[in-house]
A = this chain, B = another copy of it.
């Protein structure tokens, strides 16, 4: 059966294409993760791409899930350590590529993979193609903030980019905040260093100059600093993938260390252990609130279609968060909204011109 057939002829509900072989654990994590979302929402359908013999042992444990799931068998998969360029050349028929192709052909509304990030981005670019005028895709996700959450991009799809590309990320981030978080006029800040003197690297300052002149589907608020991400100073924080990836990972590290310190200090004190028992309900709530798995999943923005990357080492709960993000974006008609906004902005030549950074 080829992926060009329609497995679920009635597409009233959302269909998510899943690369079941991606990530450090493949179907072992993907299938229980899919089932978590299925338990929340029985209408969502799943197209699984991968090795049937490896998927079935896990899938058979969830009879209800089986009813909304279709497996498209393939032996081929992308290895986690493969070079993206090599993976792309040999990508035909891999579970990753087939999942993305299902979005392109209209059989699925979104694709999700926990596989090799570079390969996923390369394939998504080739299969789904860039939106007109957009130079590069960016990895976009949400961060917890004090009162809500902050949209942030780029989290590492690129490293250092030019000013124009950075300004485009501001547009893509604003559209994401509109579609995903339903904010009519999102505020946007450019991540920079906070020292009095240094207003940052050239590309950041030049992007600020562009953003102060052009119209974006949001409100440009100027520079923000690292701690503004969690303060929630703006709805969208824009940066290059170098700063974004380092900020993301550093923040995760601090969160993890704080939790471990806490556990260690509390469990070393008998009175505190008793106190912890009394507070167990609140502590559970707290643990849930800061659980990084709830924020797993980042979408490649700037493409004609939804492609979500899950952390490769996450567990079923984490994988379900990435699936939920895909489903939510699909339900909000994200792809069309982005395309409409980009079309509307196409007249702004300075921001959406072709090619200067195209690969």
Contacts and interface: CB of A to CB of B under 8 A. Distances in A.
Interface of A: 80-81, 83-84, 116-119, 121, 144-146, 156, 158-160, 191, 193-198, 200-202, 225-231, 239, 241-243, 245-258, 260-262, 265-266, 268-269, 271-272, 274-283, 285-286, 289-290
Given A194-B249, A265-B286, A269-B285, 4 more contacts: A159-B200, A229-B253, A274-B275, A275-B277
Nearest to A233: B253
Interface centre among A196, A254, A280, A290 (most CB of B within 10 A): A254
A24 to B, nearest CB: 12
Contacts of A194: 156, 245, 249
A113 B225 CA distance: 22
B117 A195 contact: yes
B250 A158 contact: no
Contacts of A276: 275, 279
A83 to B, nearest CB: 7
A245 B192 CA distance: 8
Contact of A286 (B200, B247, B266): B266
B249 A226 contact: yes
A296 to B, nearest CB: 15
Contacts of A196: 80-81, 84, 116-119
Contact of A245 (B158, B193, B231, B256): B193
Contacts of A84: 196-197
Nearest to A239: B246
24 contacts: A80-B196, A118-B198, A121-B197, A146-B260, A156-B194, A156-B195, A160-B160, A193-B245, A194-B245, A226-B250, A227-B250, A229-B250, A229-B253, A230-B250, A230-B254, A231-B257, A239-B246, A246-B246, A251-B253, A265-B289, A269-B282, A271-B278, A274-B279, A275-B278
Contacts of A239: 246
A116 B160 CA distance: 28
Nearest to A251: B254
Contact of A145 (B118, B225, B257, B285): B257
A83 B249 contact: no
A91 to B, nearest CB: 14
Nearest to A253: B227
Given A159-B201, A258-B258, A278-B272, A247 B245 contact: no
A266 B247 contact: no
Contacts of A261: 146, 286, 289-290
B228 A253 contact: yes
A38 to B, nearest CB: 29
A201 B156 CA distance: 11
Contact of A197 (B118, B144, B260, B268): B118
A308 to B, nearest CB: 15
A323 to B, nearest CB: 21
A98 to B, nearest CB: 20
Contacts of A228: 253
